[in-house]
Structure 1
Amino acid sequence: MFQYEIVQEGITVEELLRESWRLGKKIVHELRMAKAVTLLDGTPVNWKDSLPAGTKLQFTFAIPSSSYTPTAKCSVEIRYEDEHCLIVSKPKGMSTHPNEAGDRDTCMNHVMAHIQEKGGQYAEHVHRLDQGTKGLLLVAKHPIAKSIFDRMIEEKSIIRTYAAEVQGNIRQESGVINAPIGKDRHHNTRRVVSASGQHAVTHFEVVKRFKGTCLVHLVLETGRTHQIRVHMAHLGHPIVGDTLYNARQTPSGDYELHAIQLAFTHPFLNKQIVVKDQ
């Protein structure tokens, strides 16, 4: 259950769901059949009626249970939370979600512990971070939010910014890497730039230069597996320590890629959300 305040004068429930939120036909049908949209006092709302700005609607619907087994306690930091979503800081070395039946210590297992502690039962990640990447991960707290945030990711209206130290000194101050990414036929986990791969676009900006390396901020326009790692290696400047993509090994034996910021216009709260991870 959640509440929503109409901000667009004269909009109908039908228009809100289909045009503003652009929910799929199945979800819209389920909400209609469940008579899920009412006024705060429970009065049913005609989906064809124009509603004045300031009208407060209540959405009441069955929320399924997510399958993640909760950890004993949540050990990931919550950077932002409201009734529709939360943003956590995933540690380096932790998987976003279980990949095998026995996985019990992934970020989503920890998130589920937090959700259940607050009386909830649903949490689904909207995007994912590689195991070796740390930083901000957006999680939906109900299916309507998941549907809308998924669409926002596809439409590039959730801006994901990363920081990485890369080998060498990139000549230009900023640029765009537009190079499709596919699987490496000779290596199970590697990805490569390939003409037959999926469309992939990364924007980068050099923010600091060191001797032999530079710090770059990167914004993902698409979200392919290993996208930043592949694109920077393709540019000739792999992430420091990323030996999978031919960088020199560091003393720690690891690479540093950090999801430092998420920014988007909240579809339910109608305000700009900017969350940073230091």
Structure 2
Amino acid sequence: MRLDAYLNDEIDDLTRSQIQKLIKDENILVNGQPVAKTGYKVVSGDKISVTIPEEQPIEAVAQNIPLDVVYEDQDVLVVNKPQGMVVHPAAGHPDKTLVNAILYHCQINDDDVIRPGIVHRIDKDTSGLLMVAKNNLAKQSLMEQLKEKSNLREYLAIVHGNFKEKTGKINAPLGRSKVDRKKQAVVENGRHAVTHFEVLKQFENYSLLKLKLETGRTHQIRVHMQYIGHPVAGDPLYGPKNTLKGNGQFLHAKTLGFEHPRTHEWMEFSVEPPKIFLDTLKQLRTEH
């Protein structure tokens, strides 16, 4: 068995690409010696040592990046995140994130240096609405609402295939895939995850859905739709190769609702999907 494949099975916290980099940087030794290539075949009796270097600390800094502000007051900020933008700094994406743009735009009073103000996320190639807490009062309130499922998060998605039913509920626990560590999957004893969907329009090989999140797990909609045989169109991770061409998955966080942390007034916002989403819908209608 290849060394990188063997270690990928043995070490849960590392992806195969991270393991390959550790081998290349001579942080993985076999019998006390670095190996010449990642394809080294392990044999019975090999002694393998893995050294994981200390990560360089990441800290979000203000950057002058355009920000689409939908609503703002002293406590909360609602923004429309474009496709292709990561929400907060992380390994591989140290800057040019939504957080960097927010810090330039306004002051966030939060001790979290990497995710200041962030209470929920959407994937890099998913567009749409996010609520941001500008202080501790707002952060505590918004996080509590997420926990109690009292807020509203509705998405639009173009998915593969057609449906017999008009509405549905997917209740399937999610966790890290045992086959590919970069993916999430429906797994036994995973974290509780529920997605509701409504079919808005059907085309020849695709459908337009409205989806409502009851829980907010990593990649939840994308994994749940794949699980029921209707992967999100354009999804590079969970969809088929023969799919609609775009800038990643056709998934848009259209509507966001929450109780204001200070006034307790119900607030609700909606934004249209990006141009490529609308143009693709127009094309599907023409072809239908």
TM-score between both structures, scaled by the size of structure 2: 0.69
1:89 to 2:89 alignment? no
Give the root-mean-square deviation of aligned CA atoms. 1.6
- Looking at structure 1, the residues matched to 271 and 130 of structure 2 have their Cα atoms a distance apart, in angstroms, of 10
2:60 to 60, 63, 68: 68
Aligned to 1:244, the other structure's residue is in SS state coil
1:236 to 201, 213, 229: 229
Question: How many pairs are equivalent?
Answer: 208
Offset at 1:222? Answer: 0.6
TM-score between both structures, scaled by the size of structure 1: 0.71
Aligned partners of 1:112 and 1:121 also within 8 Å: no
Offset at 1:83? Answer: 0.9
2:158 to 162, 165, 168: 165
What whole-Å deviation, never above 9, does each CA across 1:117-164 have from its counterpart, x for those lacking one? xxx554411100111111101100001110111010010111100100
Name stretches of at least 5 consecutive residues in structure 1 with no aligned partner.
1-66
2:252 to 238, 244, 258: 258
Report the identity percentage: 40
Aligned to 2:106, the other structure's residue is in SS state helix
Determine the structure 2 residue equivalent to 1:270: 264
- Looking at structure 1, the residues matched to 146 and 86 of structure 2 have their Cα atoms a distance apart, in angstroms, of 20
Determine the structure 2 residue equivalent to 1:140: 133
Question: Bigger CA drift: 136-145 or 121-130?
Answer: 121-130
What whole-Å deviation, never above 9, does each CA across 1:31-58 have from its counterpart, x for those lacking one? xxxxxxxxxxxxxxxxxxxxxxxxxxxx
Aligned to 1:219, the other structure's residue is in SS state strand
- Looking at structure 1, the residues matched to 210 and 93 of structure 2 have their Cα atoms a distance apart, in angstroms, of 35
Aligned to 1:207, the other structure's residue is in SS state strand
Aligned partners of 1:160 and 1:262 also within 8 Å: yes
What whole-Å deviation, never above 9, does each CA across 1:174-193 have from its counterpart, x for those lacking one? 11100001111221211111
Name stretches of at least 5 consecutive residues in structure 2 with no aligned partner.
1-58, 111-115, 273-288
Determine the structure 1 residue equivalent to 2:194: 201
Letter in 2 for 1:269: T
Determine the structure 1 residue equivalent to 2:55: none
1:182 to 2:172 alignment? no
- Looking at structure 1, the residues matched to 103 and 71 of structure 2 have their Cα atoms a distance apart, in angstroms, of 15
Aligned to 1:111, the other structure's residue is in SS state helix
Aligned partners of 1:170 and 1:237 also within 8 Å: no
